[in-house]
Amino acid sequence: MSDKNVYLITGAGRDIGQEIAQSLALNECFVVIHHANSSVGAEETLDQVQRNGGDGCIVKADFTKLEQLNELVGSVQDALGSRKLDGIVHNAAYTATSVTGALDQTALSNVLTANVTFPYLLTDALSTDLKDGASIVAISIAATDKVFSPDFGFFAASKAAINCLVRNWAIQLGPRRIRANAVAPGVVDANFRSDLLSDPAFRNALEEATALGRPGQIGDVAKVVRFLLSDESAWITGQIIEASGGWKL
pLDDT given at position 1: 46
Gap between the Cα atoms of 86 and 52, Å rounded? 19
**CA distances in angstroms from 15 to 19, 91, 151, 153, 217, listed in the order given:** 6, 10, 22, 22, 10
pTM of the prediction? 0.95
Gap between the Cα atoms of 89 and 38, Å rounded? 17
pLDDT given at position 2: 53
Q: Determine whether 178 is exposed, middle or buried from the number of CB atoms within 10 Å of its CB (0-12, 13-18, 19+).
A: buried
pLDDT given at position 13: 97
pLDDT given at position 151: 87
Which among 198, 192, 185, 196 is positioned nearest to 247, based on CA atoms?
Answer: 185
User: Which residues sit opposite 243 in a β-bridge?
Assistant: 185
Per-residue pLDDT tens digits of the chain, which is 249 residues long? 457 899 999 999 999 999 999 999 888 899 999 999 999 999 999 999 999 999 999 999 999 999 999 999 999 999 999 999 999 999 999 999 899 898 899 999 999 999 999 999 999 999 999 999 999 999 999 988 887 778 889 999 999 999 999 999 999 999 999 999 999 999 898 876 788 889 999 899 989 999 999 999 999 999 999 999 999 999 999 999 999 999 998
**CA distances in angstroms from 74 to 69, 81, 140, listed in the order given:** 9, 11, 26
Domains of the chain: which residue ranges? 6-234
CATH class label, 6-234: alpha beta
DSSP string, 111-156: HHIIIIIHHHHHHHHHGGGEEEEEEEEEE--GGGSS-S-GGGHHHH
Residues 6+ apart with CB under 8 A from 136: 87, 88, 89, 90, 123, 130, 166, 169, 173, 178, 179, 180, 181
Centroid of chain to Cα 13: 12
Give residue 163's region: left, alpha or beta (phi > 0; psi -120 to 50).
alpha
